[in-house]
Structure 1
Amino acid sequence: MRIVRRLAWPLGAALAIPVMAAPMPAAAVDTALPSAVEGFAYPDAAKILADRHITLKTGDGHITLAECASGAGQIHLFSRQAAPEEVCFKVSGPTGYLAVEIPKVYTIRGDGEHTVKAIVSTDGNTTTIDVPKDVWTAVGESGSSRNASTLLELTATDGPAVPSPSGDFPAVGTVTVDQPGRNPNAKACTATLVDRNWVLTAASCFGDKPAAGAPAAKSTATIGGRTVDIAELAPRTDRDLVMARLAITVNDITPASVGVTAPTAAENLRVAGYGRTATEWAPLKAHTTTHTVSALTTTTIDTTPAVGQAPICQGDAGAPLLRNKNGATEIAAVASRSWQGGCLGTPATETRTNATGVRVDDLAGWVQQTRAKAVGWKTQALVRSDNNLYFATRLYDGSWTPYEDVQAAAGNIGGVRAVATAGINTSTHIVALGGDGHLHYAIRDLDGGWGQKFVDVNTTVSDLGNISQVSVSPVGGDLHVVVVADGFLFHSVRYSTGQWTSFKVVTDVTGPLNGITSISAAGAADGGLHIAAVSGGTVYHTLRNAGGGWSTWGSVAEAAGATAPVTAVAISRQNSDLNLALIASDGQYHTLRWANGSWQPIASLSSVIGNITGTSISAAPVDTDAQFAIATSDNKVLLTARHSDGTWSTPETLDLAAIPGNHTGTMITSTL
């Protein structure tokens, strides 16, 4: 190998520091702020071409031109066209990609830390060359062909892993769309984990007005050093904002909270982003700056950097603008556009640094409703108020979605006199007794849509009269419906195919049970169906086996112990056992029916929920828990759960403040 004297090249020129950039004509008359989305065009490529006679096109930001230094740590090459001939690149991170056009390259050396491949063109033929670490490899006129070669691409892999980000912003990461540097439509933004399944970022990162659903191009999010695919987009149509659902849940990072307080003029907000800085193209850890709010609209805020603080740059779109409130950090807005004066790749003639972000303080309901679209155990509550019915979902962290008016969404049935609900996979099935005295059936889907709006069961299945009670339960993928009508107990099945069986009288085979005042149904692990019914202040139990046969009524008081007269009952499967809770005139009680048919002695729930006066009760299996909702005489609803180990959760109160009218009952279920 002949030795070539290395000519020094100033660092500022190699990195194309903005102060050395050529003037940008007419920038001062522009009125629209540029997008802060990273597009992966090489910063200051035109100036580098003019100064160095090499073309740097696009890349992922992790292979960048550098001042040549001796020793390992850089990719070195020599080109007879470059000025000077020696050209060096630094690889940051474990991988990197750069598209170039450097003619007359005759030797390349790897950086000693990465596996490097070079794509060169010689006489119209493209060849991939493996570049060993710290070894000079002859190419072009120095190689076997003896013909001039043009370097087209550099790819680096297998480099040292980057430590997972830590510090103040573990929930802040990046979103990457398509293949950086390889596809002209590739983009990158900053994003924030706001749920174990969702990140919040700029919609413009996914193109102009992205559609809801799967991204148009392969997209990923990197949070806490882990990269996962993005499976779904939920964009806003009124501002540059999108929630992106992750294909894999992130359980080891605490999501950031979305604030509900509007930003105010002169408020300082801290921006955490992965965009460009004055000297870096694609930083490997989040950097921060402080911006001051200068103006607000209904959907946006204008900001300027505080004194001595950095601008928002390309790649910072989607970055959270954060405030501290009551000792906690919350998102007040999300970065969108900026003039980017002082950012790497911005001409020195551009000195403006103000930016525009989008507000999130009015979107708490949308965020919660979007979070609820992810698959995972959730509790649904159907709350009756006067003759109206409202629906809400409890998420895994204990927060709730806003209430939805069911009749406004699924159809007006003349008011709701009673309701039952059951979750089957990701759908919520609702059977309601309407103001017309008929049963009506609807299905709410995971995405919040109503796949089946209310249909009249009386006209489509069986015309039952004088309906007073209704309960439903899933058994496999089927819905079992139990109804008290004309003083009789009826049973029907809606199969997963959508077909219904006609209602049949249960008491014809279980034996009579008169004056039923409360019923509850729960599926069994073996495909059976439990029914508990209150008659004459006593709870009775029957079981329909998987083959369709019924057992005769059995007294729960005789099997588990007596209580004062009972007014309401609720049952729920838990693994292979059956939970039964009841409201008696002297308090609330609980018992278990074991899988072998024996009963646990009944016990008071006062140690769990206190000394309350319950008026109605509902139960549902939620993952491995049995959850209970108890309406009280003081217009509250208490939620508690029995865990599989026999312990109970601390009760919480369902917030009914947003529901107008008088609370008349709450039913719960669960879905995935």
Structure 2
Amino acid sequence: MPRKSQARSRRAGVLAATAIAGALGSFAPAQAVAGDPAADGSYAFTARLVIGDNLRACTGALVDRYWVLTAASCFADDPAQPQVLAAGAPKWRTTATVGRTDLTTSTGRTAEIAELVPRADRDLVMARLATPVDGIAPLAVATAAPTVGQSLRVPGYGRTKTEWVPNKLHSGAFTLATVNATGIGTTGTGGAAVCKGDTGAPVIRDTNGAAELVAVASRSWQGGCLGVPATETRTGVHNTRVDDLDAWVKEVRYSTAEVKPGTHVQVLGSDLALWDTVTDHRTGRWADRWSAVGTSATAGTQSAVDSVAIGNAVHVFAIGTDGRVYTRDGVVGGAWSGWQEIPGGAGGVQAITATARGNTVSLQVIGSDGGLHAATGDYTTGNWSGWTPVENNGIRAITSTTTADNVVRLYAIGDDRNVYTRTNTPDGVWTGWQAVPGGASGVQAITATARGNTVSLQVIGSDGGLHAATGDDTTGNWSGWTLVENNGIRAITSTTTADNVVRLYAIGDDRNVYTRTNTPDGVWTGWQAVPGGASGVQAITATTAATIG
């Protein structure tokens, strides 16, 4: 593909001669990289875009399983005015083919473009695919500014020096010549040029052996491209920068990601399947609906589920209908994995809790014997420790949290319906059970979360009301139990967000989901319904995932 990308008319794949002559401002839309054929399977993230009934052809880059980043001029009525492109469905039916280096084969994936999200300040658009592209790694978007003299690579499906409509992806080498606020100028080396069909092509920088997207091709002189006068020898290209748009790209990507940043509330519905919703506590905005995460490997889950976040990854743990323990993961910006059994063969499990210590999950369950069993999973290595019996005395329910001193603090409802606690030190040693002071009795459910070295503990009492206590693990002092409110709730879970607010979620007697918060100064807000209309809920868990980066 010749490496000349001009942001003007691509109609019928022909660039008007008047658009080729003149100053940089009259570059034509980028058309095709006149370079070498790409090796099979290379640059798999590159997308070939066919717009309308072969009205235009462009190139783009897969940056998310649902999103292609390309030039807005590809979709504009007048490619010379990409800034007026309207958001929404494209005017012309557009098909994206990703991961097909050789267009005569059936490799890769094909999907229609369903939605456009353009930038008003530059020739750039995020194009949403109607169906996700899985099995092809998206191209990472650069976050470091480009500098003059850097070597770059551009793959594209456009015209070459000898072919009007090549069947192979081509790529060429370019040198970065100029940098401004929204674009970079590059020059082809070794005969590379951006030609018709290359508009929107990814401009790639190699950083420590990893490819990253710096810009997309916008306009070029097309020197050396088939059909361009031999007197035109310039190979300069104007490209639209993306390295400064990381936050915008993420915001658009997250609109379709299965796993979004924020507090994830997950419930087991009346169908015993797992459902997920998410909220951004900074804005108070919730997802518009509950999304199905899926049933377990044994076609459902029982009444126990817990979750924990490590950075931008959410790890969910559930008891299957076979009494075994399963897990699935989701990374912010991506999709949920499938269920996998936790190694070790635990069976007959009655209850489960999980908390994180660095990159390690500390997992505890109540076995069929009523005793406490524990396992740890190292998410750096992917290894699990296997199950170890801790103690075989009877307990009914458990919850856990990790305090700032890296100690896992476990809380349980005993067979006598009183509340007990024990700890697991950073070196893996368990202490014995001790009663939590205050004399709580008849306890039905329990949850705990940490604020620094202070544990915020809530229980549902025999009256169905919410009671709370705090424990300072620096001094060992507890506050005693306080009745928060005496309305009926069935189950509770809690998480602490970055603003040091405890966020409590509950299943009401009506089997709907409610939330309230406890501020750093100890003030409780009132109950509010979680949007989305979940009903018939059987179990609940919540954890807070960070954003990418």
- In the superposition, the TM-score normalised over structure 2's length comes to 0.55
Whole-angstrom CA distance in 2 between matches of 1:401 and 1:476: 32
Match of 1:657 in 2: 533
| Aligned partner (choices 492, 499, 505) of residue 375 of structure 2 | 492
| Aligned partner (choices 520, 525, 528) of residue 644 of structure 1 | 520
Residues 392 and 407 of structure 1, relative CA distance in 2, 3 Å threshold: closer
| Aligned partner (choices 315, 336, 344) of residue 429 of structure 1 | 315
SS of the residue 1:663 aligns to: coil
Q: Which runs of 5+ in 2 are unaligned?
A: 1-5, 11-15, 29-68, 100-108, 110-115, 133-139, 144-250
Whole-angstrom CA distance in 1 between matches of 2:374 and 2:506: 25
SS of the residue 2:350 aligns to: strand
Match of 1:585 in 2: 462
Whole-angstrom CA distance in 1 between matches of 2:261 and 2:489: 27
Whole-angstrom CA distance in 2 between matches of 1:179 and 1:407: 40
- CA positional deviation for 1:520: 0.2
Whole-angstrom CA distance in 2 between matches of 1:229 and 1:646: 47
Whole-angstrom CA distance in 2 between matches of 1:563 and 1:615: 17
Match of 2:545 in 1: 671
Question: Is 1:368–1:402's contact at 8 Å kept on the other side of the alignment?
Answer: no
Whole-angstrom CA distance in 2 between matches of 1:520 and 1:527: 16
| Aligned partner (choices 405, 410, 415) of residue 292 of structure 2 | 405
Residues 373 and 522 of structure 1, relative CA distance in 2, 3 Å threshold: same
Question: Is 2:257–2:333's contact at 8 Å kept on the other side of the alignment?
Answer: yes
Match of 2:389 in 1: 505
Q: Residue type matched to 2:411 in 1?
A: A
Residues 500 and 58 of structure 1, relative CA distance in 2, 3 Å threshold: farther
Whole-angstrom CA distance in 2 between matches of 1:590 and 1:416: 27
Whole-angstrom CA distance in 1 between matches of 2:92 and 2:468: 53
Whole-angstrom CA distance in 2 between matches of 1:456 and 1:605: 39
Q: Residue type matched to 2:511 in 1?
A: N
Residues 246 and 378 of structure 1, relative CA distance in 2, 3 Å threshold: farther
SS of the residue 2:428 aligns to: coil
Whole-angstrom CA distance in 2 between matches of 1:433 and 1:650: 32
Whole-angstrom CA distance in 1 between matches of 2:429 and 2:516: 33
Question: Is 1:391–1:405's contact at 8 Å kept on the other side of the alignment?
Answer: yes
Match of 1:381 in 2: 265
Question: Is 2:309–2:545's contact at 8 Å kept on the other side of the alignment?
Answer: yes
1:148-159 correspondence runs (5 A): none
Residues 499 and 41 of structure 1, relative CA distance in 2, 3 Å threshold: same
| Aligned partner (choices 507, 510, 515) of residue 631 of structure 1 | 507
Whole-angstrom CA distance in 2 between matches of 1:229 and 1:553: 60
SS of the residue 1:578 aligns to: strand
1:37-56 correspondence runs (5 A): 39-40=7-8
Whole-angstrom CA distance in 2 between matches of 1:228 and 1:575: 47
- CA positional deviation for 1:492: 0.6
- In the superposition, the TM-score normalised over structure 1's length comes to 0.46
Question: Is 1:176–1:189's contact at 8 Å kept on the other side of the alignment?
Answer: no
Question: Is 2:71–2:123's contact at 8 Å kept on the other side of the alignment?
Answer: no
SS of the residue 1:98 aligns to: helix
1:56-75 correspondence runs (5 A): none
Match of 1:575 in 2: 452
Q: Residue type matched to 2:495 in 1?
A: A
Match of 1:115 in 2: none
SS of the residue 2:430 aligns to: coil
Q: Deviations over 1:581-605 (max 9, x none)?
A: 1111232112222241433423535
Residues 403 and 599 of structure 1, relative CA distance in 2, 3 Å threshold: same
1:386-535 correspondence runs (5 A): 386-396=270-280, 397=283, 398-408=285-295, 411-451=297-337, 453-457=338-342, 460-464=343-347, 466-485=348-367, 486-496=369-379, 497-507=381-391, 514-535=393-414
TM-align CA RMSD: 4.4
Q: Residue type matched to 1:99 in 2?
A: S
Q: Deviations over 1:403-446 (max 9, x none)?
A: 333335x6444443321211222222122111112222222333
Whole-angstrom CA distance in 1 between matches of 2:493 and 2:534: 21
Question: Is 2:365–2:374's contact at 8 Å kept on the other side of the alignment?
Answer: yes
Match of 1:317 in 2: none
Question: Is 1:372–1:446's contact at 8 Å kept on the other side of the alignment?
Answer: no
Say yes or no: does 1:209 pair with 2:89. no
Q: Residue type matched to 1:177 in 2?
A: A
| Aligned partner (choices 394, 419, 422) of residue 539 of structure 1 | 419
Residues 236 and 569 of structure 1, relative CA distance in 2, 3 Å threshold: same
Question: Is 1:191–1:201's contact at 8 Å kept on the other side of the alignment?
Answer: no
The answer to which structure, 1 or 2, has the higher relative contact order (CA under 8 A, 6+ apart) is: 2
Residues 611 and 370 of structure 1, relative CA distance in 2, 3 Å threshold: same
Residues 98 and 655 of structure 1, relative CA distance in 2, 3 Å threshold: closer
Whole-angstrom CA distance in 2 between matches of 1:383 and 1:368: 26
SS of the residue 2:460 aligns to: strand
Whole-angstrom CA distance in 1 between matches of 2:327 and 2:256: 22
Q: Deviations over 1:305-356 (max 9, x none)?
A: xxxxxxxxxxxxxxxxxxxxxxxxxxxxxxxxxxxxxxxxxxxxxxxxxxxx
Q: Residue type matched to 1:554 in 2?
A: Q
Whole-angstrom CA distance in 2 between matches of 1:58 and 1:626: 64
Q: Residue type matched to 1:407 in 2?
A: G
Match of 1:8 in 2: none
1:46-445 correspondence runs (5 A): 98-99=25-26, 177=71, 188-190=82-84, 201=88, 209=96, 222=119, 234-236=128-130, 370-371=254-255, 373=257, 377-396=261-280, 397=283, 398-408=285-295, 411-445=297-331
How many aligned positions are there?
359
Question: Is 2:330–2:336's contact at 8 Å kept on the other side of the alignment?
Answer: yes
Percent identity, aligned pairs only, is 18
SS of the residue 1:602 aligns to: coil
Residues 407 and 574 of structure 1, relative CA distance in 2, 3 Å threshold: same
SS of the residue 2:477 aligns to: coil
Match of 1:32 in 2: none
Whole-angstrom CA distance in 2 between matches of 1:204 and 1:494: 50
Whole-angstrom CA distance in 1 between matches of 2:395 and 2:252: 39
Residues 208 and 657 of structure 1, relative CA distance in 2, 3 Å threshold: closer
Residues 374 and 539 of structure 1, relative CA distance in 2, 3 Å threshold: same
Q: Deviations over 1:100-147 (max 9, x none)?
A: 89xxxxxxxxxxxxxxxxxxxxxxxxxxxxxxxxxxxxxxxxxxxxxx
Whole-angstrom CA distance in 1 between matches of 2:96 and 2:461: 57
SS of the residue 1:630 aligns to: strand
Whole-angstrom CA distance in 1 between matches of 2:117 and 2:333: 22
Match of 1:622 in 2: 497
Question: Is 1:413–1:436's contact at 8 Å kept on the other side of the alignment?
Answer: no
Whole-angstrom CA distance in 2 between matches of 1:369 and 1:664: 32
Match of 2:434 in 1: 554
Match of 1:601 in 2: 479
